Amino acid sequence: MRKVAIVGAGLSKFGERWDASFRDLIFEASSMALEDAKMEGSDLQAIYGGTMAPGRLIGQEHVGALIADQLGLTPIASTRVEAACASGSVALRNAYFAIASGMYDIVAVGGVEKMTEVSTEEVSFALGGAGDQEWELFLGATFPAIYALMAKRHMLDFGTTEEQMASVSVKNHKNASKNKFAQYQNEITIQDVMDSSPVASPLKLLDCSPITDGAAAVILCSEERARKFTDTPVQIIGSGQASDALALANRKSMTEIAATKEAARQALHQAKLTIKDVQVAEVHDCFSIAEILAIEDLGICKKGEGGKFTEDGHTALNSKISVNTSGGLKGCGHPVGATGVKQAVEIYWQLQGRANGRQVKGAEIGLTQNVGGSGATAVVNVYKRMD
């Protein structure tokens, strides 16, 4: 397999984007990525776009063709990829394979979701399709309820506290306050989280990621051509993906994401590294408990110790490992199809030393972990700054 590098990245502003359509968001992120790579659209040979539920959210399907049309890039191949909230990372992984195999030399990867065109109830129903429609959503178990069950079990088994979960949100809001693309750029306190409205006990409003409009894009190319476009390419050195039961009730454990553990094993093995080599990580914090599970399942800390590890500041900026420097899903926002690509954009900027105001000192190795549903899909990618 050929080596693959990221040579350009772009984001739209995340948030409730009443000023922008689905097409506008795609154009914002993609044009920024092409400009960053100092290339023209005509240089691209293929597009992979991650999006979860545009049919339900805006009534639009056939998004692969829409992307190529919107960017004026017909007739090149443009493919939509769907894997719930991991759609962006699976799109990135498919583009990575396309270049590594020798099929293409230069590929664009995008992720997009426009979520504010329908009611909160309709968004919840659309997102519920990422779980087991028959055995979860039909019976009233939306994702806040499912993650609340995971949180309660973690509290029972390991003594994790609500304040420790709140510390995830506090840290991620602090990082988001330094990110001009983030939906929320305000800092919050533990007490703010504890006082926020209950959603599904023990999760409160400020434990939950928001409804977000946004898009993200990266440009991938073969390593031998990378320096034509940037002096500081970032190589993808490991990629893993794994699956688990769609419904939480059918999993072996309620306190781990087994697919994360397997995807991380694959990615780190391919990279010939251990988790201790990673300085900066973007992980899937759709709810505060999800980040705690992620850092445990990635091996950043031991199972059951994620709450205390976070509370003690070990995942803060420039600590033992800097986690969710972008603000994560909680602070930066969670346009579900775009999230996995946004994670890659953040790691790209971090390894290039371009994460102004939130830069991890001396970052050379980064990692992303993106989850679909409540853990039925997980993707882990490992990145390295090319010297």
List residues with catalytic annotation. 85, 334
Residue 142 contacts residue 294 (beta carbons within 8 Å): no
Residue 283 contacts residue 202 (beta carbons within 8 Å): no
Cα–Cα distance list, 109 to 78, 90, 249, 381 (Å) = 10, 10, 34, 14
Please give, one letter per residue, the 3-state secondary structure of the chain. CCCEEEEEEEECCCECCCCCCHHHHHHHHHHHHHHHCCCCHHHCCEEEEECCCHHHHCCCCCHHHHHHHHCCCCCCEEEEECECECHHHHHHHHHHHHHHCCCCCEEEEEEEECCCCCCHHHHHHHHHCCCCCCCCHHHCCCHHHHHHHHHHHHHHHHCCCHHHHHHHHHHHHHHHCCCCCCCCCCCCCHHHHHHCCEEECCEEHHHECCCCEEEEEEEEEEHHHHCCCCCCCEEEEEEEEEECCCCHHHCCCCCCCHHHHHHHHHHHHHHCCCHHHCCEEECCCCEHHHHHHHHHHCCCCCCCCHHHHHHCCCCCCCCCCEECCCCHHHHCCCCCCCHHHHHHHHHHHHHHCCCCCCCCCCCCEEEEEEEECCCCEEEEEEEEECC
Residue 279 contacts residue 364 (beta carbons within 8 Å): yes
**Distance separating alpha carbons of residues 385 and 21, to the nearest angstrom:** 34
